[in-house]
Amino acid sequence: MGAPAHLERPHRYTLTAPALPTSPRLCRDFVRGVFTASGLNELADAAALCTSELVTNVHRHGKGDVRMAASVQHDRVRVTVHDDSPELPSPRRAMGNETNGRGLFLVTALSDLCGMTIDEPANGTGKSVWFEFNLPSAKASGTA
């Protein structure tokens, strides 16, 4: 019998989903499953919420399918959400009664690190928005 899944690092999972209203939930469940299977239950809910926010942005403002990757390393996990629009999201301050406009602030607040990149011309015309969580064991040992 092999080592537990969370000890078999690094590994990477990918998912492609259409930019539909159902995709945030599907992608959120996918990421929650990756974190749980990797022994990272304590980070699964925050990662699922961050994923949902980024995929919702693709559905509302992006272009093309959602392409996701979850990379589990020895010291961190990175979730990347890609679409075919080169326009980078722009955080804005939502007014108190608005129901939109807080997603990127949530991702920033919940994750250890986040960012965005535009594709290199040879690789396409889209962008990636990503977030990372340092693994609890890496935080405790100071190796993150």
Q: Is the pLDDT of residue 57 over 60?
A: yes
pLDDT digits 0-9 by tens, 28-41: 999 999 999 999 99
d(CA 97, CA 38): 38
pLDDT digits 0-9 by tens, 63-75: 889 999 999 999 9
pLDDT digits 0-9 by tens, 13-26: 999 999 888 999 99
* 143: Cβ contacts below 8 Å, ≥ 6 apart: 75
Q: What is the DSSP string of 23-51?
A: HHHHHHHHHHHHHHHTT-HHHHHHHHHHH
Angle separating helix axes 103-110 and 41-61, nearest 10 degrees: 160
**What would you report as the CA-atom Rg of the chain, rounded to the nearest whole angstrom?**
15
